[in-house]
Amino acid sequence: MSQTLERPTGAVDPSATGGRGDKSKAERRLGWYLAGPAFVVMLLVTAYPIVQAVYDSLFDYRLTDPENSSFVGLGNYGVILTDSVWWIAFGVTAFITVVTVAVELVLGFGLALVMLQALRGLRPVLRTVILIPYAVITVVSAFAWQFAFSVDSGFVNSWFSWVPGVAADTDWFGTQGASLFVICLAEIWKTTPFISLLLLAGLAQVPDVLQEAAKVDGATWWQRLRKVTLPNMKAAIMVAVLFRTLDAFRVFDSVFVMTAGANNTETVSFLAYRQTIERVEIGLGSAVSVLLFLSVVLISALFIKGFKVDLSQARGE
Amino acid sequence: MSTREKVGWGVGGLVIIVYCLFPVAWIVSLSFKSSDDIANGQFLPTVFSSENYQQILVGDAAGLFLPALVNSFGICLIATAISCLLSMFAAYAIARLDFPGKRIILSTALAVAIFPVISIVTPLFNLWRQIGLYNTWPGLIIPYLSLTLPISIWTLSAFFREIPWEMEQAAQVDGATPWQAFRKVIVPLAAPGVFTTAIIAFFLAWNDFVYGISLTSTEAARPVPAALGLFSGASQFESPNGPIAAAAVIVTIPVIVLVLLFQRRIVAGLTNGAVKG
């Protein structure tokens, strides 16, 4: 496909200015021909559904009873926002997001430091094992953690029986706190490696000369970390935090597998799923989906405006 | 580095290895426990048993698991192939051409990547039922593109930007035909990036649970993660944990093999697309 193209260096004969305009027009057209299909597909699979969801959310519409569908305006939103079910789901989602992202950032930074310093022989081994949690299916990871903690097939209760409050019959999925603890643990295990890889890439960009200079000036390891390393990789950290926050806010798989929303562990995604797929309340479910979408937009706006996350770096420009 | 520091970082490395492998080792160990042994409260089985694997591969649960495995492979491979093809053209345009759509396309890819999947599922569930795509392969392949396409465009544009495209001209100056220059110079340079992109896109599709569980109802299209989530045991008196563990091990094998073979490329692909100085 490329043999017919000129490299767009702009090295055109300066006298042929008219031709140059044609060329850039042709290039623009070719650009859209090539990139257009991917662009259209992306819009079709996301923009269309969200517009449809906004429309559906204005109706009192149940799939099993389509005749009695009626326009209710923002009624569904009123129902949801005044219901404690929504606010509990929102709180649980926010809790999981804040806890997992905070722990993952610290832990991921630790992993990145170890990988950076590891002996040459160990490096490929570390790079391989760190990808395993990333590549393991979320559902599989959720089952592994659930089975480890469960009363009938786990080992955690017998291994940790010396910890006060843990006994052979401790039911980790019987209370909100304990369930959320295991859910967070599973999420942290699975996604920390990804954060640590992003941070490692950021760490590698901190110039060695700066580190050496600080060392010569007598800075301790801790001082160098705080004054040299962290400020120089701020952009990488913010991008990693933004992506993980948005990812964590969609948490669904682990909750579905471990508790199915029991004991007030329902998240916003799970609430939308339960309303739409299980109860076939298309109107209410769509409204929850739209609210979730708006939350994600709000979080992104907050990061980009508030923390000045430079996404052009994320785009590799 | 002093010897003490070396030992310290070495110990840190060992901690990482244990951290990453422990839950995987546990699910493998669990999958070899017989149904009498599953509640033994220990990490390892008392006696190794292949009972669970028999149940999901030839026994009662085979009818549920094997079609799901076929569905997962088929749907994920097709979705990966389509998104690779589309993103190859898009990434080429982004890396080599100067056109104003570049920023829009990359920003859209970014927005689609962070889009909450459940917000897409709700309207699709309704629409797919009306137009007959519910519980079919295409009914999953299409939404899977929302997972695989953005990351493919991103990763591949980052790879294509690094390709020394001038070499194509150089080859032509040396007497190669345009087709030879493309085949002998550009294809070998671009292939590793395309390949890595395909692996990462495949991981994302393979990991899907929300679409799989919402847009399918039988083994006609249900992928493995959804089948796992819904599996409740051969009978209601039997714990399903053993067979689930065995099925979990089987679906983990393909991704572990990919990681073992291509770890260096996968890391480059993941970080190239996301952070770049």
Q: Which CATH superfamily is domain A88-265 in?
A: MetI-like (1.10.3720.10)
Which range among A124-128, B193-197, B270-274 shows the weakest confidence by mean pLDDT?
B270-274
The pLDDT of B8-21, averaged and rounded, is: 88
- Tell me which residue of B267, B257, B256 sits closest to B24, measured CA to CA: B256
| Segments making up each domain of chain A, as ranges | 88-265
- Tell me which residue of A229, A225, A241, A227 sits closest to A308, measured CA to CA: A241
pLDDT, residue B249, reads: 93
Which range among A221-225, B2-6, B216-220 shows the weakest confidence by mean pLDDT?
B2-6
Q: Compute the distance between CA of residue A186 and CA of residue A183 in angstroms, rounded to an integer.
A: 5
Nearest to B86 among A32, A41, A137 (CB): A41
Q: Compute the distance between CA of residue B277 and CA of residue B265 in angstroms, rounded to an integer.
A: 19
pLDDT, residue A4, reads: 43
Does the pLDDT value for residue A204 go beyond 50?
A: yes
pLDDT bracket for residue A190 (50, 70, 90): very high
Q: What domains does chain B contain, in order, with CATH numbers?
A: 62-230 (1.10.3720.10)
**Quick one: B217 exposed, middle or buried, by C-beta within 10 A (0-12, 13-18, 19+)?**
exposed
Chain A residues touching B123 at Cβ < 8 A: 48-50, 52-53, 56, 286, 289
Does the pLDDT value for residue B43 go beyond 90?
A: no
The pTM for the full model equals: 0.87
Q: Compute the distance between CA of residue A285 and CA of residue A283 in angstroms, rounded to an integer.
A: 6
* ipTM for this model: 0.89
Alpha carbon of B215: minimum distance to chain A alpha carbons (Å): 9
Please report the sign of the dihedral spanned by the C-alpha atoms of residue B220, residue B225, residue B226, residue B230.
positive
For the stretch B198-256, pLDDT in tens is 998 999 999 999 999 989 988 888 999 988 888 765 555 566 888 888 989 999 999 99
> What 3-state DSSP class applies to B175?
coil
Counting residues of chain A whose pLDDT is more than 70, the rounded percentage is: 90
Does the pLDDT value for residue B54 go beyond 90?
A: no
pLDDT, residue B192, reads: 86
pLDDT, residue B277, reads: 32
- Tell me which residue of B52, B55, B59 sits closest to B37, measured CA to CA: B52
B214 and A285 Cβ atoms separated by less than 8 Å: no
pLDDT, residue A15, reads: 42
pLDDT, residue B24, reads: 92
The pLDDT of A178-196, averaged and rounded, is: 92
The residues with which A62 forms a beta bridge, in sequence order, are: A281
Hey, of B119, B131, B146, which one would you mutate to test binding to chain A, going by the most A CBs within 10 A of its CB?
A: B119
How high is the mean pLDDT of chain A? 82
pLDDT, residue A2, reads: 40
pLDDT bracket for residue A8 (50, 70, 90): very low
Chain A residues touching B118 at Cβ < 8 A: 250, 252, 269, 272-273, 289, 292
* Residue A196 CA, distance from chain mean position: 14
Does the pLDDT value for residue B139 go beyond 80?
A: yes
| Per-state percent for chain A, helix, strand, coil, to nearest 5 | 70, 0, 25
Supply angle C-alpha B7, B9, B15, rounded to 5: 105
pLDDT, residue B234, reads: 52
pLDDT, residue A101, reads: 94
pLDDT, residue B13, reads: 87
A206 and A119 Cβ atoms separated by less than 8 Å: no
- Tell me which residue of A181, A193, A131, A130 sits closest to A156, measured CA to CA: A181
